[in-house]
Amino acid sequence: MLIAPSILPQAFYREDTKSVAQALLGKVLCHRKSDGRLLMGRIVETEAYLGVDDPACHTFKDKKSAKNRSMYLDGGHAYIYVIYGMHYCLNLVTRTPAHPEAVLLRAIEPIGDAALPAKRPAAKANLESNGPGKLCRYLGLTKEQDGVPVWNESSGLWVLDAPPVPTAEVAARPRIGVDYAGEAAAWPLRYYVIGNRYVSKQ
DNA sequence: AGTGAGATGGCCT
DNA sequence: GGCCATCTCACTA
């Protein structure tokens, strides 16, 4: 008999951002699309963005804008923005509005319906969610989900609890694509499951 | 294996 | 007018 998996509560996301980024590894991201299909994936790669004191973060120096509006919501909301004009990136907001921080979800391992065989060459068939832009495309996430709460199913986007990944299987490395951020570019705020094939870069 | 460029749009100064 | 928390394909070797 299976135990019903529980949805991570809002309190989970109000904790320290680095801790949340690591704790999210192994959890199961779920999206109920408007057509009813449920897409799921096990989170295997994340990055922490540490708010007003982090030059790589969109809320560096407490700069508010139309784009980063959702980062000033309470912990447990989604923050989705457009990058390079054609890709979406999904973040989960952490802490509280006084500390606008977030965790970028960079890669998931498809499970359930999402693991259906893809109409792609074999080499690429199972690599459709190994990167922040590809993850959103795969789950069907767009600006429509920007700002929605993720601690219950009503928003269509939520995260199921799952056993934590042992710390010995987690690597911490510099974040990707933030070379402009000075010394912050070297901060080891990217976390991933060592050896998992869906991690965007080893 | 590694480098480079193009696609493409919203928001920034 | 320029900049991206990206991805893909086309090159070189």
**In terms of residues, how long is chain A?**
202
A155-180 pLDDT, tens digit per residue, is 999 999 999 999 999 999 999 999 99
Copy the structure tokens of residue A21: 């980024």
Closest of A53, A95, A55 to residue A71, by C-alpha: A95
List, in sequence order, every residue forming a beta bridge with A7; answer none if it has no partner.
A160
A92-149 pLDDT, tens digit per residue, is 999 999 999 999 999 999 987 545 544 444 444 557 899 999 999 999 999 999 999 9
CA atom of A124 to C1′ atom of B4, Å = 22
**DSSP per residue over A4-47, as a string?**
PPPBPPHHHHTS-HHHHHHHTTT-EEEEE-TTS-EEEEEEEEEE
Chain B: positions less than 7 Å from a protein CB are 7-13
CA atom of A135 to C1′ atom of C10, Å = 25
Q: Where are the beta strands (DSSP E) in A52-100?
A: 78-83, 87-94
Strand C close to A58 by CB, under 7 A: yes
Copy the structure tokens of residue A3: 């135990």
CA atom of A58 to C1′ atom of C13, Å = 40
Cα–Cα distance for residue pair A70/A77, rounded to 1 Å: 7
- Is A140 exposed, middle or buried (CB count within 10 Å of its CB: 0-12, 13-18, 19+)? middle
pTM over 0.75? The answer is: yes
